[in-house]
Amino acid sequence: MVSNLLAKKQNFYSHQLSQILIVEDDYINRMLLSDYLKYSGYNVTSLSNGANFFLTINIFQPDLILLDLKLPDIDGYYLLQQMQQQPDFSKIPVIVVSALAFKVDQQRAMDLGARDYLVKPINLNLLTLKIEHALAYSHI
C-alpha cells in the first residue's frame, strides 16, 4: 500500500518545473486548484480576473493556462482569441475549466485554440491527466 502511494506521489512530480497560470474568479475554486497543483509539483500563480492576464503571461511565462470563461471583467473567449493572435502566446496550451456545459460553448473554445475543456465540478485526477497530456504535446 505504501509503495502504491509513493508511486503515485512520484508520478505527481514528473513536471515539477512546469508553470501553470490559473485564471478563475471563484476564490474557493482558485485556491483548490492552486493548492492541488502545488502539491502535485507544479509552480502555480493565479488571477481572479483577466485585467492583468497578458502582463502575467509575460512575467510568469506559464507552460499551461487553466482558464475560466466567465470572468467578472472580461470574456474568456476574448482572451483565447487574443492569445491566438500573438505568436508567443498561441503556443501556450490552454485548458478551459468552466461551468458552461453546452457543446456549443465547448466547440467555440476549441475553435479559439483551447487544448481541452473540462466542465465544473471537475475531477482532479482527470485534470492532472489532461495537464500532463497537454504539457507532453506542447514540447513536441
User: Which CATH number is 121's domain given?
Assistant: 3.40.50.2300
pLDDT at 4 over 50: no
Domains contained in the chain, number:
1
Which domain does 38 fall in, by range?
16-138
Query: What is the pTM (predicted TM-score) of this model?
Result: 0.88
- If pLDDT is split at 50, 70 and 90, which confidence band does 16 have? low
Question: Does residue 60 surpass a pLDDT of 60?
Answer: yes
Residue 51 lies in a domain: yes
pLDDT band for position 5 (cuts 50, 70, 90): very low
Percentage of the chain beyond pLDDT 70 is 87
pLDDT at 43 over 90: yes
Which secondary-structure segment (H or E) carries 37?
helix 27-39
Whether 5 is covered by a domain: the verdict is no
In this structure, of 9-13, 42-46, 88-92, the range with the lowest mean pLDDT score is 9-13
Alpha-carbon distance 8 to 48, whole Å?
30
Q: For residue 11, is it within any domain?
A: no
User: Does residue 8 fall inside a structural domain?
Assistant: no
Q: What pLDDT sits at residue 73?
A: 96
Q: How far apart are CA 15 and CA 51, in angstroms?
A: 28
* Residue indicated by cell numbers 483548490: 32
Q: Is 6 part of a structural domain of the chain?
A: no
Q: Quick check: is 2 in a domain?
A: no
- Residue 83 located in a structural domain: yes
> Which pLDDT score, from 0 to 100, does residue 138 have?
81
* 1 pLDDT more than 50: no
Does residue 106 form part of some domain?
Answer: yes
Question: Average pLDDT for residues 16-35, to the nearest whole number?
Answer: 95
